[in-house]
Structures are given as C-alpha cells and as structure tokens.
Amino acid sequence: MPDWPITVWRRASPAPPPPETPFALVERVGGGLCLRAVNAAARALGLYRGQTQADARARVPDLITAPADPAAEAGALTQLALWSERFSPAVAMETGPPGLEGLVLDMTGAAHLFGGEAALLQTLETKLAKAGIPAHAALADTLGAAWALARFGPDPRLALEGGARSALADLPTEALRLAPEAVVLLRRFGLNQIGDLYPLPRAGLARRFAAGKLAAGGLGLSVVERLDQALGFRPEPLAPVRPPAAYRAFQVFAEPIGDVAGVEHCLGDLVRVLSDQLVRDGCGARKLALTGFRVDGGTTQLEIGLSAPLAQPTHFLRLFKNKGLEHLDLGFGIDALMLAAPVAEPIVLVQTGLQGEGDAIDQGALAGLIDRLQARLGEGAVRMAKPSGRWLPEHSAQWGPPVLGRATQAFVLEDRPRPLLLFHPPEPVEAMAELPDAAPVRFIWRRVARRVVRAEGPERLGPEWWRQSADSHRPAPRTRDYYRIEDEAGHRYWLFREGLYEREDMGRLPSWWLHGVFA
C-alpha cells in the first residue's frame, strides 16, 4: 500500500488537498521537523522521506504539510489486517519504513474460493480502491517474492508455483528488502537487478555482503539470506495478527446484509458447518467468535466462551441468541460472515455407570446451563470454586471461570465437615472456656450472648510458616484450634482459637474467632 501514512491521513481529514497538490506529513526528529511521507506530486518535484521541512519548503514553497500520527497509522493497519481475514485466516502486517507498509496473506489452498489467483488479486485491489486505499497486490509461493512483486513488479504481479526465480530476475535489488547501504554497494559492483546475483558464487557473495556490516543501516540480513528467502531456499515464518483458528466457517454475500434477522438466518448454516468440522476431529469448541465484515472496511465481532468442549450446532445458535445478535454493529451492512472456534479441545466421553444413569450428573446439560447463563449475564457472572492446595480454610479455594470436564485433585476430609458459609475475614468473638485448651461454654458474637450445649473438637491446623512474609511489621501466623459447637437455640457454628496459652507470641494472648456457620 504505497503512501500508507498519507492514505490514513486523507481518510481521516475532512478536507484533504487534491492529489495533484504537493503534500507531506512531518514528524519531529531531534530538534527539527522532517518529512515522514510524501505524495506522488511531491516526489515528482524531488522531495523525499527524511528530508528536513526547511529544505523541502525551499525547493517547493507551496508544499502543504500536516503533522504525522504514527499511532493512527498503526491502528488503521491493524484494522485493515482484521478486515483481510475474509480472504485468509493468517494475516500478518509489514510495518517497515513509512511508505513500505503492507499486509501478507497466506492463501495456501484458498485462492480457488475467489475464482483463482488472478481473480483474487483483482478482487483485493478493487475492494481496497473502493475504500479509498491505493494498493498493489501480488501473489507468489514465497513471502519475499510476493513482497518484491507487489512493490516493484509489473502487471500482472503473479508468480505461479516455481516461477519466483524468473519473475524476480528483472526487478531491482531493492526488492530483496535490503539495507540502503547494501543496495548502494551492489550498484558499485554493477549488480542492479536480482538476476545479476544468480550466477555469482554464493561463498564470495555471503562474505562480501555480510549481515554484520550492514545491520546498522537497515534490516540486518545479508544479501544471500534475503535472496534465499525470496527463492524459497530459506523458510520465513509468518507472524499473524491473530492466531488462525483451526476451525472456521465462512460465507460471502452477493448483497450486504443490514439487519439482525439476516445474520441469524445465515448463522444457522455456519454453526452446522463448524460443528461438522469439530465432530470430524472429535473436538469441541471452548470459545466461539462471530465476525462480520462490513462494507465500510470495519469489522464487528461477538465472542462466547464455553465451560466444556461442545460441538452441538443447536447449542451454538442458542448461545448467540442469548448473547444478543443485536450487539453486532452492522453499520451500512456486512458482505461476509465468519464463525470460528479459536479454542478447541478433544471431547472426552465419560461413562457414568451401568445402573442408575438417571441419578448421574449430566455434564452436557450442566455445561449448557452455565453457557446460557454466561451468555445472558456476562462472562464474569458465573464462577466456580476450585481447590487451590492451601491449608487454611479461607485460602483452600479460588473462584474463577467455570471449567467442566477436567479432573481436579482436591484435599477432602470426609470425617471433618466444613460449613457452607465461611466469613472472610473471620469475625472476632468473646469466648469463655472452663479450661484453657477446652471448648468454649459461652461466647458473644455480634453483641448477642450464646450458651454452648454441644461441642466437638479441637481440630488443630498449623500455620503456613513456609508462606510467612518477610515483612517484620506483620504478626507471625499462629496455630488454630477449631471447634464445631451448637448453642441452645440449635444453631451451629465453627469457632477457632488462634494461638496457644503455653506459647505466648511476644505478649499476644490467644484470641477467639467465628469462621463459619453450618446450615
């Protein structure tokens, strides 16, 4: 996308200057202003990126300038990358120097969905042109070859499989994404085109144009490495903006859809296609993402999390209805809809038993209930307590999102019941006991005196000394003796005495606390 910074500025400006007017974006470099990007009219008059504004105005007095906004440029490029996911699930951004920005789409095995390679390039350029974005699209079997053809290649910018070598031969050496110093040095030796490098000995070429000598001036890769990448001899991994979903269903519309009813109608087909993909691999979705591609170039998305891996199309459709398809910002309409499962896990079938199946817990029904509650109330509205491996009761569980289908090792004491309601922190009480280490016979809680008729205990829990803070200002944890007691009204409580009488800690006497209430 040539002159991407200026394209972003023109799309956001209420009254941009005509294209034939010399225009440049400026940014502060050191103590002065320099040109960050120039349009074609300014380049025709000899202006270039990196030139000081004073020199540019001396050469072109009627030059129009505006402050550059690199953050807006990066944000717009990210939004355009998300829009491009209608063509490919793996889209990466080329964030090079201003004027060399671009997008990289992995179209492996997908070009036929858009009428072939040539039709795909035409569709891309046409859609971007309608949005006011000048762009040159190219397709090749390597990233380096596609990069070179898009910026320096003649029409049609297409190199079929195995044709990168011949397609790149007549292009200038700048097309190899080299540092400026490397390009100047190559020209001194008369190596102006990429094809001039083909017959040269690789050992001498690598030694003379090493990466270390050129790293300060640009991308820091040697001529041989860039040549190997362009010709496919060296792999070049792609870093997508978002990890591509392994399971996705996509539908393109001849006419834009502008209402929720149309989206709901098409969503029924998408959930069936996605469910078939998941069932084929024995997997279930743990997260669903519905993305609508708007005609104005924006995207709108609705995400849903699932508590257990499921692959039921009716359940998927019900969740999106409960979530509210009206939350999708359709704008002036969407011309494509994509349903993806960014997170999927294998479905593990569990046999509940040969008898008494009616008494067994239906994990699928429970997961469906949790998913519907989360869709209606929000992702954080439903939580589940999970064992944390801590010894003290107030730290023995952690609340988090509900996750079913995963076995969790819990510390359970069947002969030592715990109250359903725990106070955090425990509430102080005044207790009286016949013996120092005996259960209380009377206690005062919330200004009400209660007489104990039954007591059971103690259950001693030692302090977690290995977790003791290094902060000397905080008191050291002490031993707890827990008692299950019942008052004359039939109410049952869980009290504990913190500290032992025979072990006074720096003058701190034992204290009584109410930690929970039994139902």
Give the count of alpha carbons within 13 A of 196, CB side only: 15
Specify the higher pLDDT residue, 199 or 372. 199
pLDDT band for position 505 (cuts 50, 70, 90)? low
Three-class SS state of 341: strand
Confidence of residue 244 (pLDDT cuts 50, 70, 90): confident
Say whether 197 sits in a helix, a strand or coil.
helix
Over range 413-425, report the average pLDDT: 78
Q: At residue 468, does pLDDT exceed 70?
A: no
Q: Which residue bears the tokens 């949790």?
A: 370
**Residue 510 per-residue DSSP state:** -
Neighbours of 340 (CB within 10 A): 26
pLDDT at 275: 94
Lowest mean pLDDT, pick from 297-311, 366-380, 453-467: 366-380
For residues 462 and 57, the model is more confident at 57
Burial zone of 358 (CB within 10 Å; 0-12 exposed, 13-18 middle, 19+ buried): exposed
pLDDT at 474 over 70: no
* CA angle at 71 for the pair 67 and 327, rounded to the nearest 5°: 125
**pLDDT-based confidence at residue 219 (cuts at 50, 70, 90):** very low
| Mean pLDDT score, 116-124 | 92
239 DSSP assignment = -
Alpha helices in 19-103 (DSSP H): 40-44, 53-59, 70-83
pLDDT at 119: 92
Q: Is the pLDDT of residue 360 over 70?
A: no
Checking if the pLDDT of 441 tops 80, the result is yes
Predicted pLDDT of residue 86 = 87
User: What is residue 349's DSSP assignment?
Assistant: P
- Is CATH 3.30.1280.10 correct for 1-135? no
Helix (H) or strand (E) holding 182: helix 180-188
Q: Which of 200-209, 223-232, 402-411 has the lowest mean pLDDT?
A: 402-411
Average pLDDT over residues 128-153: 93
Mean pLDDT over residues 304-332, rounded?
89
CATH 3.40.1170.60 domain extents, the chain? 1-135
220-229, 309-318, 351-360, 485-494: least confidently modelled range: 351-360
Q: Name the residue with higher pLDDT: 362 or 495.
A: 495
Measured distance CA(450)–CA(354) in Å, rounded = 50
Out of 3.30.160, 3.30.1490, 3.40.50, 1.10.1060, the CATH code matching 256-388 is 3.30.1490
Give the model's confidence band at 477: pLDDT under 50 very low, under 70 low, under 90 confident, else very high.
confident
E strands in 275-420: 283-294, 299-310, 334-346, 384-387, 397-400
Which of 195-199, 386-390, 477-481 has the least mean pLDDT?
Answer: 386-390
User: What's the average model confidence in pLDDT over 31-53?
Assistant: 93
**pLDDT value at residue 410:** 47
What pLDDT score was predicted for residue 387?
Answer: 78
Whether the per-residue pLDDT at 320 is higher than 80: the answer is yes
3-state helix, strand, coil in the chain (%, to 5): 35, 30, 40
Residue 408 has pLDDT above 50, yes or no: no
Exposure on the CB side of residue 408, measured as CA atoms within 13 A: 15
Cis peptide before 458 (omega within 30 of 0): yes
Determine the Cα–Cα distance for residues 383 and 406; give it in Å rounded to an integer.
15
151's tokens: 């910026």
Tell me: pLDDT of 114 over 80: yes
> Which regions of the chain carry the CATH code 3.30.1490?
256-388
Q: Average pLDDT for residues 319-339, to the nearest whole number?
A: 91
Residue 407 is predicted with a pLDDT of 47
Confidence bin at 448 (pLDDT 50/70/90): very high
Which long-range contacts does 62-67 make (Cβ < 8 Å, 24+ apart)? 62/21, 62/22, 63/22, 63/23, 63/24, 64/17, 64/21, 64/22, 64/23, 64/24, 65/23, 65/24, 65/25, 65/26, 65/35, 66/9, 66/13, 66/23, 66/25, 66/26, 67/25, 67/26, 67/27
Highest mean pLDDT out of 35-44, 360-369, 462-471: 35-44
CA–CA separation, 117 and 100 (whole Å): 23
Report residue 47 CA to chain centroid gap. 40
- Please choose, from the candidates 87, 164, 84, the residue with its C-alpha nearest in 3D space to the C-alpha of residue 120: 87
The larger pLDDT score, comparing residue 411 to residue 60, is at 60
The top-scoring range by mean pLDDT among 216-230, 340-354, 457-471, 482-496 is: 482-496
Distance CA 66, CA 102 (A): 23
Residue located via tokens 């001194």: 188
pLDDT for position 210:
64
Which strand (E) or helix (H) includes residue 253? strand 247-257
Instruction: Specify the DSSP element, H or E, that contains 424.
Output: strand 421-433
Average confidence (pLDDT) over 186-198? 92
Within the chain, how many helices (H) and strands (E) appear? 14, 17
Tens-place pLDDT, residues 143-154: 999 999 999 999
**Helices 143-152 and 223-231: angle between axes, nearest 10 degrees:** 100
**Percent over 70 (pLDDT), the chain:** 90
Whole-number mean pLDDT of the chain? 85
Contacts of 348 (CB under 8 A, 6+ apart): 405
Which pLDDT value is given to residue 216? 41
